[in-house]
Amino acid sequence: MSTETDPNVILRVAAKGDGVTADGRHVAFSAPLDQLNEDGGLIKGPHHVEPPCQHFKECGGCSLQQLDDESYAQFVIDRVAYALEGQGLSVGTLHPPQISKPKSRIRASLRAAMMGKTFKLGFSGAGSHRIVDLKQCEIMRPELFAAIGPLRDFLKTVARRKHDMNVEMSLADQGVDLCIKNYEPENLEQREGLAAFAQTNGLARLSVDNGYGPETQWEPDPVTVTFNGIAVALPHNSFLQPTHDGKAALVAAMLETVGDTKLVADLFAGLGTFTFALGENRKVYAAEGSRDAIGALKMAANLSGRQIFTEHRDLFRRPLSPEELNRFGAVILDPPRAGARDQIAQIAQSGVPKVCYISCNPASFARDAKQLCDAGYKLDALWPVGQFLWSTHVELVSSFSKK
């Protein structure tokens, strides 16, 4: 019996991370070419490696650390290929995937709470509300992980029983930007303690949010992130690409798609990751629904002297019309996970020669891509990107041209 038909051999890894046998059984924490024995146990195959983190299986941060580099790269490719196949689409060129390295993640969302007599700070447990008290992390940048121990010690002194706190961490130009949510200092002593903690640990910014929005407690210098040499103010709760190398891969693929086009629209522009990457010699229209983000982009654009026109615009409620779109030689869009159904419908009716669609959800991308292809666009190339190492989240850049 061949490997392809043997019902006890894991053939591939499905979208949610389980290994799948030829007869359709799903097996958690398995790898391609693993085998099931008569008792249902797993015989590890050539692609099954020892997970590098002590918290693997209990932590919800990573679910695929048992895969070697080859099979994880194949998983990233398959996530994209199967999504396209589900919509009956094909792509001219499917590029090899760009996989981010370990310890490269520049943002993380953690939970903290007093559990019995023990205070815990870490990711949620896999498939549960438990908190895994992080003693090791193989995905976070060392600068972020280094803040966890001191933060645990500090929060332990202010924690209340049965009261969860959430911690948002990002790496900015000036260092770690940290926001503690569902917490408010109760007195002057606690506020002074926050400032002392931030200063001692060299934080770029420390904020608290009791449910009414972030309130800055410590920010010795204005916090920024830099895109293509341009420093942009970092508002609270801003979206950042999760790794620097992954961002570079997305930008490189976008630039290849846009080519030498001189007039470009950047939709769902955020803080300007792609806007500023387009350089000085183009005219760029940038639209974004977050008022804080587009305000930061506009200020940085004005200071840089770039030819960038910004608009605060909700592209779900008011997408650009075909008449507006037809002014541009290329359109870039990087929507949230839900995709951009309404904006894609308008692009489909336009004559825009080039479309670069950046997505963090292969399923919603494939749905939107079908709408473009049905309207006469050709899916020329696609670049899979695995910024969320060892997880099932996959991103991509795609290049469309009008036939």
Query: What's the pLDDT tens digit per position in 274-308?
Result: 999 999 999 999 999 999 999 999 999 999 999 99
Q: Which CA distances in Å does 323 have to 102, 147, 161, 315, 360?
A: 45, 50, 57, 15, 28
Give the residue from 403, 387, 373 showing the smallest Cα distance to 90. Answer: 373
Tokens read off for 310: 């910004």
Q: Rounded to an integer, what distance in angstroms lies between the CA atom of residue 208 and that of residue 60? A: 25
Instruction: Give me the pLDDT at residue 14, please.
Output: 94
**List of residues 6+ apart from 22 with CB closer than 8 A:** 4, 5, 6, 7, 9, 11
| Higher-confidence position of 115 and 66 | 66
Instruction: Give me the pLDDT at residue 127, please.
Output: 77
List pLDDT tens digits, range 178-202.
Answer: 999 999 888 898 889 999 999 999 9
Task: Kindly give the residue spans of alpha helices, DSSP state H, lying in 135-227.
Answer: 142-145, 148-156, 188-200
Q: What is the pTM of this model?
A: 0.94
- 137 is a catalytic site residue: no
Widest CA span in the chain: 73
List pLDDT tens digits, range 389-400.
Answer: 999 999 999 999
For residue 357, pLDDT beyond 70: yes
Instruction: Indicate which residue of 59, 179, 360, 373 is catalytic.
Output: 360
